[in-house]
Amino acid sequence: MKQSSRRNFIGQSALAGIGTLITLPSLGAMAASGKIKAEGILSPLKTSFDQQPLPYAYNALEPLIDTLTMDIHYNKHAAAYSKNVKEAAVAEGVDTTKPLEDVLVKISKYSVKMRNNAGGHYNHEMFWKLLSADANTQPDAKLLAAINASFGSMDEMKKQFTTAAATRFGSGWAWLISTADKKLSIISTPNQDNPLMDIAEVKGFPLMGLDVWEHAYYLKYQNRRADYITCFWKLLNWKTVSERFNSI
């Protein structure tokens, strides 16, 4: 286990369904302005190639996510994505002082190693911030209105998201995304793909994502993915989701 500094809190910033298809162009000009663009979607949120400290102690989410799973997930799986994406960046001439999103939106131009590890690193950097020991967080009024407009109700959104996470075959992620017209949609992606990628079947800005790789839950839940998904709703930090929605 890493030193206790890994457990310090950091500031918070920042899961199959049918969505609206949108196209993602290059981020060259937008990266220069400090914003990330996904066809009509602007966000000041940027992801570094470096792994950031976990924003809580490894045991903070007990008993829903056990300490050992959190330790292995963060220090082994996620750390490897960060290490490997930087290796791929060196090999492929990518400037790591620019946002990782700049690579994701044109991922088809890069290697499989870059695709797998850039996606894995981005997805996990967001995922940690979506979890909280505070069970009382709620979406803000703006996000709640968007959820109701897109799905009819919060319960319907949760039902569709749970289905997307539960039915993603093999390993992957379930997502709540915002499209260019700020409509919300639920999708899932395989492996470490995400909806920012130009190869994604459905594209948009990720508001929240749930990791349904077995390494995220198997030590505690074994084959009971449904139980793990249920626990996600108890840990979801709606403040982070709202901040992501309000950033675009």
d(C-alpha 157, C-alpha 245), whole Å: 15
Q: In degrees, to the nearest 5, what angle opens at C-alpha 171 toward C-alphas 136 and 98?
A: 75
Is 70 exceeded by the pLDDT of residue 42?
Answer: no
Q: How far is CA 172 from CA 18, 120, 126, 148, in A?
A: 16, 10, 15, 26
Q: What is the pLDDT of residue 89?
A: 98
Note the pLDDT tens digit of each residue in 1-23.
Answer: 433 333 333 333 333 333 322 23
Note the pLDDT tens digit of each residue in 152-185.
Answer: 999 999 999 999 999 999 999 999 999 877 799 9
Q: Could you give all domains of the chain from N- to C-terminal order, each with its CATH number?
A: 16-40+65-248 (3.55.40.20)
Whole-model pTM?
0.84
